[in-house]
Structure 1
Amino acid sequence: MLFGKKKDKVHFNPGNRDDGSHEQEIDKDYVEEEVNKIEEDDVEVVLNNEENIDKKFSGNNTLSKYVELGRIMISMLKDVKNGNYKNIPWFTIATIVMALLYVLNPMDIVPDFIPGLGYIDDVAVLTMGVGWIESDLHRYLDWRMENDMGI
């Protein structure tokens, strides 16, 4: 196994986290199901499309924080793949890959070519995924700072 993790089906329970944000618009059961379908080959697809993912949000200043999130997540995947960072569950890897594959897909729930609306679902899926793995992202960033490695 490339990532050295056993792929177990994970059931995510968001608890009572209904903050009224737009992430509630995307069906969490659908996203959870998609996360559980992620395979190691999907990780390679994301890593091979790093530039395309970066370009997706780069042209829009209001989405700049999502460009940074995408870069951090891809950096995490690379460090895991290279064996530099090992403290990460498969669910986190799969969530990152699912979210970035969704962003990469131009024909998702709301097609990206629709002006003003095309990225709403991409941002919602990315935000939901980040919410699920936020503590792992913080641990990773702390690790990067401790090891004095730039992103």
Structure 2
Amino acid sequence: MGKVEQREAEIALAQERERIRPDDLGAVLATRNQVERKAMRKGRLRRFLGDIRTMFDMLRDYWNGSYRAVPWYSIAAIAGALLYIFNPLDMVPDLILTFGLVDDAAVTAACLRMVSGDLDAYRRWRAGRKATETKPAP
């Protein structure tokens, strides 16, 4: 990914992040199957499929209140990136020069750079939670 595309992806993500409100999370979660199918089909996006699934899991756990150890900024960035992937017009039609050519994978990569620490913390939390759920009772 070139510097220009990276910067455009960061701008596109920032625009999406600013639009996200807490009430939007249910609608974002409803796009999961379509986003995952799109990620499986698109070569550059396919490498992020595991991260996309983790982002959806984190949004779900944030939305239902079971995981709140993450700033709203990160939740909004994740929701914005997932909506960007979901939208067939990529929020900015490809006919518009510069921003219209930003790829879903570039926006996803920009999001992952922004929230990697929060996703890592979530993965640790989830792993710990699964470990306690599978412990045999004394």
Give structure 1 stretches of 5+ with no counterpart: 1-18, 113-118
1:50 is matched with 32
TM-score by length of 1: 0.71
Q: Measure how far apart 1:26 and its partner are.
A: 1.6
Corresponding residue to 1:100 among 77, 82, 85? 82
1:27 and 1:143 map into 2 onto residues whose CA distance is 29
Q: Measure how far apart 1:62 and its partner are.
A: 5.6
Give structure 2 stretches of 5+ with no counterpart: 95-100, 132-138
1:143 is matched with 125
Deviations 1:66-115 (A, max 9, x none): 11111100000111122211101100110000000000011127869xxx
* Off by >6 Å, runs of 4+ in structure 1: 109-112
What is the alpha-carbon root mean square deviation over aligned residues? 2.7
Q: Structure 1 residues 21 and 134, CA, compared in 2 at 3 Å: closer, same or farther?
A: farther
1:31 and 1:64 map into 2 onto residues whose CA distance is 19
TM-score by length of 2: 0.77
Q: Which has the higher helix share?
A: 2
1:60 and 1:108 map into 2 onto residues whose CA distance is 14
Greater CA radius of gyration, 1 or 2? Answer: 2
Q: Structure 1 residues 139 and 29, CA, compared in 2 at 3 Å: closer, same or farther?
A: same
Q: Which has the higher contact order (CA 8 A, sep 6+)?
A: 2
Q: Measure how far apart 1:39 and its partner are.
A: 1.2
Q: Structure 1 residues 133 and 23, CA, compared in 2 at 3 Å: closer, same or farther?
A: farther
